[in-house]
Amino acid sequence: MRAPWHRLGLPHMHVRVFPAAEVTSRNADAEVDPREAGLARPDVEAMWTSVERLYATGLHPAIALCVRRRGKVVVDRAIGHVRGNGPDDFSRTPKTPVRHDSLFSLYSASKAITAMVVHLLDERGLVHLDDSVVEYVPEFGKHGKEWITLRHILTHRAGIPTVPGTKFDLDLLADPERVVQILCDARPLSVPGRRITYHALTGGYVIGEVVRRVTGRDIRRFLREEVLDPLGFDTFGYGVPAARIPEVAENAYTGAPAVPPYRWLVERGLGVSVREAARMSNDPRFLSSII
């Protein structure tokens, strides 16, 4: 059966909940005795118990948690399914259990990584947070956008929260040069620096172009060569390699119906409904894009 439930008169979308022991993956080879990291075992187990309780709500098809302290891994576990157990899946739908090393998309949490890249360039004296974007992308300075700074972009105050004239076009997202051209020609919706409006997608393309012009490398390559490779990361980065897309946990729309202001945030930023955004976020074109 499908899994829409109703509580308190509001329809909630849930996933089927399985016994924790049946759907838990633990990296036993990596986890150490908590005492080696200065922790008590009951405290560490309490962390995981909290995760199990969250899973039991039926709001998350899969949850993964890795906790490191003093260079030691004290928790590296996952619970649930990466696919086949979404709210719209049937009980007979084939299910793929999550593993502790399953891949998950960070979606907008990657904005923090992009900010780190900008700060790294600032630290090296290649850019400064209060520099205008036009210092690096001269054609961006149209219709008053010459006053937009890198800081405005990072803090969602640039006044260009959407890609004008488009909806959540997956083919366009995969063409950063075209997106940058559209943004260069766009008129800001507000005076730069005056109003906070969530820049769901646009800021990443502008920052990505600045990084490319300053370093000669796209932001994916820069992050990999300057940060990820030196740290030994092998599955982290912008966009998923095509061969590994089947390993990525499916995004699912669960819980109560989206209501304002969150619903407005998504619809204005992406041009589609929250449910449609969740569906499209599983598309290989989205997963492989540098956004």
Nearest to residue 266, comparing CAs of 187, 168, 185, 183?
168
Q: Are residues 92 and 197 in the same domain?
A: no
Give the global pTM: 0.89
Q: Which residues of the chain have pLDDT under 50?
A: 1-8
| Contact status, residue 218 vs residue 204, Cβ threshold 8 Å | no
Residue 259 has what pLDDT?
A: 87
**Residues 37 and 88 reside in one and the same domain:** yes
Do 120 and 36 share a structural domain?
no
Same domain? For 96 and 130 the reply is: no
Task: Report the number of distinct structural domains present in the chain.
Answer: 2
**Per-residue pLDDT at 267:** 87
Q: What is the CATH number of the domain that holds 144?
A: 3.40.710.10
In this predicted structure, what is the pLDDT of residue 256? 86
E-strand ranges in 129-274 read none
Q: What is the pLDDT of residue 164?
A: 85
Q: Can you give the pLDDT at residue 10?
A: 52
**Same domain, yes or no: 86 and 48:** yes
pLDDT at 11: 60
For residue 2, the SS3 value is coil
* Rounded Cα gap, residues 76 and 157, in angstroms: 37
Residue finishing a domain among 44, 77, 102:
102
* Per-residue pLDDT at 4: 43
Q: Which residues are catalytic?
A: 108
